[in-house]
Structure 1
Amino acid sequence: MTTTTTTTTPTQATLTGVRVLSLALNLPGPAALMRCHRMGATCTKLEAPPPEGSRSSDPMGAYNRGAYEALHEGVEIVHANLKTADGQAALHAHLAQTDVLITSFRPSASAKLGVDWASLQPRHPRLSLVEIVGAPGARADEPGHDLTYVAESGLVPGLELPPTLYADMAGSVMASEAVLQALVQRAVSGRGAHIEVALSAAADYLALPRHWGLTQRTGAVGGAHAGYRVYPCADGRVAVAALEPHFAQRLCAAAGVDAADAQGHNAMFRSSTHAAVGAYLHGRSCAELDELAVAQDIPLFTMPDDGQ
């Protein structure tokens, strides 16, 4: 068994004195562990011994070393093969001092390695288990990844890949939240808690605004409101978020839309308002629009073309 450690200063101290051990690979589990470390927890990651010529057995360490190092900053990395007696002994030595264990195996794999709740709870009654799975309950053994869960939630409307890993990152937030929930439950009951975090459920949660119609094309934040859209400008794009009436009124006044009319909510959904605002923004540079935002207190963000 070998150990390496990097250090950082936690930004919060909510989990000071709490020990979290993770067996989770790739992104959701390490991201949850990163959040726990930032809340002050003492965090350890147990990985299998790396293959010859590699520095990590975690796939993230192979395909994006920078991301791996960022995720594990301040985390103690321990190497042990859980398929061996020595590895199991090392695992349980750590678990005896651990408050919360994070895993991301399929349930069938967890059972084989003896890190499922049925195996752990009798041996470590005060240990909590946060189990990250792809889909909940009976579907937890199904194969999947961020893209399949996001697609299932209706968040992949075309052929373009999403700009980030929504299910993985939302799942990591839910997993770190589950660590807090488990500690609260143990404080009441005196025993560890088992909490399942499904990445598909994380994607479903992110998709709620779309299912409610808010981000559909006819929704106020889906493009139907002239003050909440991305427009082309003279040298790039501008994201405008003038949703509230006072912001919308200032935007419309700058664009030459009748200020009195702009106070009415319905005016922001008219094609004439979209056209007037679009024409105004198209003729201004990012620098001009940045100045407008400051001078008129309008929420917008400019995105210059590459090279600007």
Structure 2
Amino acid sequence: MPAAATPPVRTPPRPKTLKPLRSVRVLSLALNLPGPAALMRCQQMGATCIKLEPPAGDPMRHYSPPAYADLHEGVKVITADLKSDKGQQALHRQLARADILLTSFRPSALIKLGLTWKALHKQYAKLSQVAIVGSLGAAAEEPGHDLTYLAANDLITGLDLPATLYADMGGSLMASEAVLQAVLHQRSHEKGVYLEVALSSAAGFIALPRQWGLTTASAAVGGGHAGYRIYACKDGRVALAALEPHFAASLCKAAGLTASDMKSMWKPETHQAIADWLAGKTRRQLDALALAHDIPLHTLAPDKG
């Protein structure tokens, strides 16, 4: 008997984006991921985006060309060695026309490049700077990465690496938000402002539900509620999110459970009953049941780990 076809991945449509930055010119010196991701968001919001890269290019161009291409779609990239006179001249030509400068250097590196906020603000009074740093204050000089910021905020479990770069991507959203804040400040005060965005703070923001106890093992969205868990099914896994009473009722009805079972979603026997029911269903069957019974779930391939 041939194996059941794997359900296609559901690609959500891209939401409509307003263009609040249509008349704004953003100059970026930021490399790797958080800065370019923030620049990508600014470009999507209508900003004119220019990026100065060192002669060696952005490391992302070399270790992930597809990611680099996505991040820099619509961005004008210029090569400039900021340690040379020619590179500094190119930088200041762009600064004279920019509304926002986006950086991701340590403060000491900005000092060496002559890009302290005091110097920039004196020369370009209407320019704003959004500086992406690892941590705020003196800790901005300390080495770190997405993984260490997540670890410091209790977001690492076991020996597995996180599924994605949460601090970097969260930081990029905070940085694009800071660009919006800077533009509003410029328009109301007619002068620039300096804003710092820390990746450690982004990790801390992402960690708030954990700090509040919302995702502990006994909590509703931590596995305590039988309708909100990852289960095995016949040919893979299923992410089940039947948390609200009406969704839990639909789940229990589809699984042949009683009304009293629906009131006992926290009990081990209810967890086991749902696990046994799902274990006998294929992904295709569960996808059909989800549509027929209004159950929020998403089926997954077997865990490769």
TM above 0.5, yes or no, is: yes
Q: Which digits, 9 at most, give the CA deviation of each residue in 1:220-244, with x for residues without a partner?
A: 1011110000100000000000010
- Aligned counterpart, 2:96: 96
Q: Pairwise mapping of residues 88-237 of structure 1 onto structure 2 (< 5 A)?
A: 88-237=88-237
- Aligned counterpart, 2:59: 59
- Aligned counterpart, 2:297: 300
**Within 1, Cα distance between the matches of 2:80 and 2:302?**
49
Q: List gaps (5 residues or longer) in structure 1.
A: 1-9, 51-56
Structure 1 residue 260: Cα displacement: 4.7
| SS of equivalent to 1:140 | helix
**Within 2, Cα distance between the matches of 1:27 and 1:152?**
20
Higher mean C-alpha deviation, range 171-180 or range 247-256: 247-256
| SS of equivalent to 1:192 | coil
Amino acid at match of 2:142: E
**Within 2, Cα distance between the matches of 1:69 and 1:256?**
50
- Aligned counterpart, 2:82: 82
Q: 1:21 aligns with which of 27, 33, 40?
A: 27
- Aligned counterpart, 2:69: 69
Structure 1 residue 12: Cα displacement: 3.5
Q: Which digits, 9 at most, give the CA deviation of each residue in 1:106-138, with x for residues without a partner?
A: 000011101221221100010000000001111
% same residue: 58
Higher mean C-alpha deviation, range 112-121 or range 203-212: 112-121
| SS of equivalent to 1:74 | coil
1:285 aligns to 2:251 (yes or no):
no
Structure 1 residue 64: Cα displacement: 1.0
Where do 4+ consecutive residues of structure 1 move more than 2 Å? 304-307
Structure 1 residue 11: Cα displacement: 4.8
Q: List gaps (5 residues or longer) in structure 2.
A: 1-15
**Within 2, Cα distance between the matches of 1:306 and 1:28?**
29
Q: Tell me if structure 2 keeps the 8 A contact 1:111–1:119.
A: no
| SS of equivalent to 2:192 | coil
- Aligned counterpart, 1:240: 240
The 1:149–1:77 alpha-carbon spacing in structure 2 relative to 1, beyond 3 Å, is: same
Structure 1 residue 215: Cα displacement: 0.9
- Aligned counterpart, 1:49: 55
Q: Which digits, 9 at most, give the CA deviation of each residue in 1:140-194, with x for residues without a partner?
A: 0101111110111111111111010000000000000000000111112111011
| SS of equivalent to 1:178 | helix
Q: 1:33 aligns with which of 21, 36, 39?
A: 39
**Within 2, Cα distance between the matches of 1:71 and 1:249?**
43
Q: Which digits, 9 at most, give the CA deviation of each residue in 1:45-67, with x for residues without a partner?
A: 001123xxxxxx21111111111
| SS of equivalent to 1:151 | helix
Amino acid at match of 1:32: A
CA RMSD of aligned residues (A): 1.4
Q: Tell me if structure 2 keeps the 8 A contact 1:256–1:276.
A: no
Q: Tell me if structure 2 keeps the 8 A contact 1:226–1:269.
A: yes
